[in-house]
Structure 1
Amino acid sequence: MSSRTDSGLDVHNPAAAYGFDASYRGSPPNWDIGRPQRAFVHLAEAGRIGSRVIEVGCGTGELSLFLARRGHEVLGVDVAPSAIERARAKARWRRIPAQFLAWDALRLDDLGVRADTVVDSAMLHCLGPAERERAVEAIRRTLRPGGRYYLLCDARADGAAATWASLSRAEIRELFGPDDGWSLSFVFDTGFERRGSRSPAFLVGARRRE
């Protein structure tokens, strides 16, 4: 996957890290379960993941490494440099050819990379409303026409008070409307696994319109 990453350039936005970088310096955070979320395993096994993949908010890289081992060309990006360091170490130890880059997902399109699929295991739901719109547009610009974005996010009921790190079906429909260049393919009820717990979640599939 040719891009500015060929030069080894790492660009991240420390102001946007929201403390996540510190989360990866000690023991793994509770969302880092040592394997990909089951929802993405099922998507991969069903053949729904394209050949060129970008994972936004990749953390320590378990989903990216899983997909690369299956033969996908994968770039994982995360705003937390500590997470990227761990992901790169895992790739070396396991001899898996995934690439990792410290980068702000709100500027994903600035990388100059085009992808068939973008996967997101609980990154978008951590952003505020304006940042979500910026991230979704950057993702849309990065995808090839017809490309797919798959999002796993903690679920919140429509009409419930807004909380950090969750999305409602209404918010998802608003983010992925046809006027914004998307076709919303599905919103499935599922679960997001953490160490010792599991929370209700949505698996979202959206396609970039031609």
Structure 2
Amino acid sequence: MPGSTPHPHYDPETSRKPEDLYISRPPWDIGRPQPAFLDLAHAGAIKGRVLDLGCGTGEHALMAAGLGLDATGIDLASNALHAAENKARERGRRARFRRHDARQLADLGEQFDTVLDCGLFHIFDGDDRAAYADSLRSVVPVGGRYFMLGFSDREPTEWGRVHKLTREEVEAAFADGWRIDSIEPATIDITTTPDGIQAWLVALTRI
């Protein structure tokens, strides 16, 4: 995700520990859901059992829980997960938070109707990207939805090792087992600039 550090959850290319990215509040931790995902919630697009991948401090899992949905968030940063659990208690919302690798979702032994991803897919390339796509297919049944917010190639600034995504890259990554419903320009809000980061909002359906 944004900033001089490569990502809020983990960086497969360095020895940085996931917890290191939450020692102080990172710019992507805005204390509320991303507007693009909140719009999906208001439109009724987030349904059933919800999985928030790379959940950080849990805003999107808690958003789903606030809709009365069964919500789970996973991340590799244990301190971020601890913060998410504290938020859940403070807000009186029921959500589960687990330390787990998004490239190994089959190990959860569960299925999810809606999967949310804000700022995780765009850290992967090569074998990791393929493993992530395979992992997603293992937990989303036919008809399930995947919504992703990722850095767009339209964003002019550089942010660590984040991969700026083209439409073609997204289409190629999810060519097997998914219908691409839409790839639309969007913004990822951050705390360090009012303009946010240029992103793609991707909507897929499992087929």
What range is the shorter-chain TM-score in?
Answer: 0.7 to 0.9
Deviation at 1:131, TM superposition (A): 0.8
Structure 1's unaligned 5+ residue stretches are 1-12, 158-162
Deviation at 1:108, TM superposition (A): 0.9
Amino acid in structure 2 at the alignment position of 1:138: S
Q: TM-score, normalised by structure 1?
A: 0.85
Q: Which residue does 2:31 correspond to in 1?
A: 34
1:125/1:164 contact within 8 Å kept: no
The CA distance in 2 between the partners of 1:138 and 1:156, in whole Å, is 25
How many positions carry a matched residue from both structures?
190
Query: CA RMSD for the aligned pairs?
Result: 2.0
Q: Deviations over 1:154-193 (max 9, x none)?
A: 1015xxxxx832211110010111xx11111100001111
Amino acid in structure 2 at the alignment position of 1:29: P
**1:91 match: secondary structure:** helix
Q: Deviations over 1:16-39 (max 9, x none)?
A: 5844321112x2100000001000
Alignment partner of 2:71 out of 70, 74, 92: 74
Query: How does 1:57-68 map onto structure 2 within 5 Å?
Result: 57-68=54-65
Alignment partner of 2:86 out of 85, 89, 100: 89
Sequence identity, in percent?
A: 36
Q: Which residue does 1:186 correspond to in 2?
A: 182
Range 134-143 or range 15-24, more displaced: 15-24
Alignment partner of 1:171 out of 169, 172, 185: 169
User: Which of the pair is proportionally richer in strand?
Assistant: 1
The CA distance in 2 between the partners of 1:171 and 1:62, in whole Å, is 27
Q: Which residue does 1:4 correspond to in 2?
A: none
Q: TM-score, normalised by structure 2?
A: 0.86
Does 2:129 match 1:147? Answer: no
Alignment partner of 1:47 out of 44, 47, 68: 44
Alignment partner of 2:101 out of 95, 99, 104: 104
